[in-house]
């Protein structure tokens, strides 16, 4: 049967999870053929994008820790333990806000002490926005939640038709957020629906507001520009789903990445393409712009700096894993995380490494996805992003009969990367 096979696990080409020409992690980050977004399991990898404020770098990782580092030195100032974190933090002068895989939304002091916690009914991938006394974010329980930023008390919640991994944007008295129900929702600050715009597929992208216009990407392979009332002004087609994070703007040029591996520069008024730059794999991060340079990472393991006007490469820096963490830049230092379990700080002008901070676990996070048939599949990756194991509960049940022992999840392994066959052989040897 055609299809991928690993350690006894197989699925048909109709259930194909990724294109083998792409980096595995990059393909797993958001897969058209699967039912929902993936869950990153415990490991040292970083999917959260850092935030920088007052000389400190804040970010979460899949080792179940949220970190605060010194921007200049990379020294750890404190860490806070929770579940895995893909949500990027919002940081104010008084508090730090972020969500985690266990469905909890946290508010910490700037010294890492818990002020309050709020429970939702699903994973939280959404990065919160703090606006007019509210902290607003989406959850995979299908709701947009608006809390009092000081107390964590729920003020309102707004229901969409499916999971929400998109991050909200607030402008004046309106909140914009996408959903897996294929719609971009415009919500009042009192939690009432103003309008919703239908696209042809799910929306994971955050929304950019520029000169009153609304810009966002969809998995129907288009970047959209809407009026403040939700009317389409233009759309730009790309070769694959548009930007997993969000777009950026400078001098009336919109910059947006795509799963086709390209960064596109478009005229913000007309949507006309000015230039594009092709990377070696999925481009899933939101770029940042500084001193006429644009910075972004790719799932080809590289971090790029381009001339923002021409798209010409200025420098690139190679990490040991796919980059799904959007950069943050302050004081001439650009910071981003990698799937290789490190947070990097580079000189924004030269691309020279200033420091790197390893998370508490040195192995990459396994990734769980749900196939179109509803089967949960967990992929364990090597340090190079290759698949070492592909497992599912249904497969393990079948293997109990094949091996006559308990399934792979219950066999103790010598390391996270030990194959199932090796584990089974050891188990049978000492039975």
Q: What is the pLDDT of residue 178?
A: 97
Segment (H or E) for 266: strand 262-267
Confidence of residue 327 (pLDDT cuts 50, 70, 90): very high
Q: Does pLDDT of 386 surpass 70?
A: no
E strands, 38-182, are: 39-40, 51-53, 56-60, 65-70, 76-81, 90-91, 96-99, 104-108, 114-119, 129-131, 134-138, 143-148, 154-159, 169-171, 174-178
Question: Are 332 and 54 a contacting pair, CB within 8 Å?
Answer: no
Q: Does pLDDT of 313 surpass 90?
A: yes
Q: What is the pLDDT of residue 245?
A: 75
Across all residues in the chain, what is the average pLDDT? 83
Q: Does pLDDT of 252 surpass 60?
A: yes
Mean pLDDT along residues 261-272: 96
Q: Does pLDDT of 148 surpass 90?
A: yes
Q: Does pLDDT of 136 surpass 80?
A: yes
For the chain, what are the domain ranges? 39-358
411 vs 274: which has the higher pLDDT: 274
Q: Give the bridge partners for 216, in sequence order.
A: 224
**Rg of the chain in Å (alpha carbons):** 21
Mean pLDDT along residues 290-302: 95
Query: How far apart, in whole angstroms, are the C-alpha atoms of residue 109 and residue 76?
Result: 16
Question: Are 65 and 79 a contacting pair, CB within 8 Å?
Answer: yes
Mean pLDDT along residues 136-159: 97
Confidence of residue 40 (pLDDT cuts 50, 70, 90): confident
Mean pLDDT along residues 11-22: 33
Q: Does pLDDT of 269 surpass 80?
A: yes
Q: What is the pLDDT of residue 282?
A: 84
Mean pLDDT along residues 66-83: 96
Q: How crowded is the C-beta side of 223, counted as CA atoms within 13 Å?
A: 32
Q: Which CATH number fits domain 39-358: 3.40.50.620, 1.10.1040.10, 3.40.50.2300, 2.130.10.10?
A: 2.130.10.10
Task: Give the range among 127-141, 197-211, 367-381 with minimum mean pLDDT.
Answer: 367-381
pTM above 0.85?
no
């Amino acid at each position: 049967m055609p299809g991928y096979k690993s350690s006894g696990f197989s699925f048909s080409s109709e259930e194909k999870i990724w294109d083998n020409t792409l980096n595995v992690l990059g393909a797993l980050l958001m897969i058209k053929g699967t039912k929902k977004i993936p869950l990153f399991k415990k490991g040292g990898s970083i999917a959260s994008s850092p935030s920088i404020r007052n000389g400190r770098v804040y970010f979460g990782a899949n080792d179940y820790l949220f970190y605060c580092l010194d921007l200049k030195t990379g020294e750890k100032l404190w860490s806070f333990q929770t579940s895995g974190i893909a949500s990027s933090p919002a940081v104010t002068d008084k508090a730090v806000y972020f969500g985690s895989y266990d469905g909890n939304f946290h508010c910490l002091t700037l010294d890492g002490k818990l002020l309050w916690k709020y429970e939702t009914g699903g994973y939280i991938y959404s990065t919160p926005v703090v606006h007019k006394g509210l902290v607003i974010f989406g959850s995979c329980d299908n709701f947009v939640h608006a809390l009092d930023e000081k107390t964590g008390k729920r003020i309102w919640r707004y229901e969409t038709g499916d999971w929400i991994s998109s991050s909200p944007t607030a402008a004046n008295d309106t909140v914009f957020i996408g959903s897996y129900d294929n719609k971009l929702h415009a919500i009042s600050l009192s939690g009432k629906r103003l309008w919703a715009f239908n696209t042809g597929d799910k929306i994971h992208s955050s929304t950019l507001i520029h000169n009153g216009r609304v810009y966002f990407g969809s998995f129907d392979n288009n970047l959209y520009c809407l009026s403040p009332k939700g009317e389409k002004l233009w759309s730009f087609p790309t070769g694959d789903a548009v930007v997993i994070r969000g777009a950026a703007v400078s001098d009336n040029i919109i910059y947006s990445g795509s799963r086709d591996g390209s960064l596109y520069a478009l005229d913000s008024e007309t949507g006309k393409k000015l230039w594009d730059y092709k990377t070696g794999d999925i481009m899933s991060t939101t770029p940042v712009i500084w001193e006429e340079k644009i910075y972004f990472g790719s799932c080809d393991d590289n971090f790029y700096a381009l001339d923002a006007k021409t798209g010409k490469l200025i420098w690139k820096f190679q990490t040991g894993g796919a980059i799904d963490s959007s950069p943050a830049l302050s004081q001439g230092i650009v910071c981003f995380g990698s799937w290789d379990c490190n947070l990097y700080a580079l000189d924004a002008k030269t691309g020279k490494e200033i420091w790197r901070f390893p998370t508490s676990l040195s192995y990459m996070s396994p990734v769980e996805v749900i196939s179109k048939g509803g089967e949960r599949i967990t992929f364990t990756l090597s340090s190079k992003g290759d698949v070492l194991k592909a497992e599912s509960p249904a497969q393990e049940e079948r293997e109990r009969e094949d091996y006559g022992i308990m399934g792979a999840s219950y066999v103790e392994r010598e390391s996270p990367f030990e194959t199932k066959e090796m584990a089974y052989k050891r188990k049978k040897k000492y039975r």
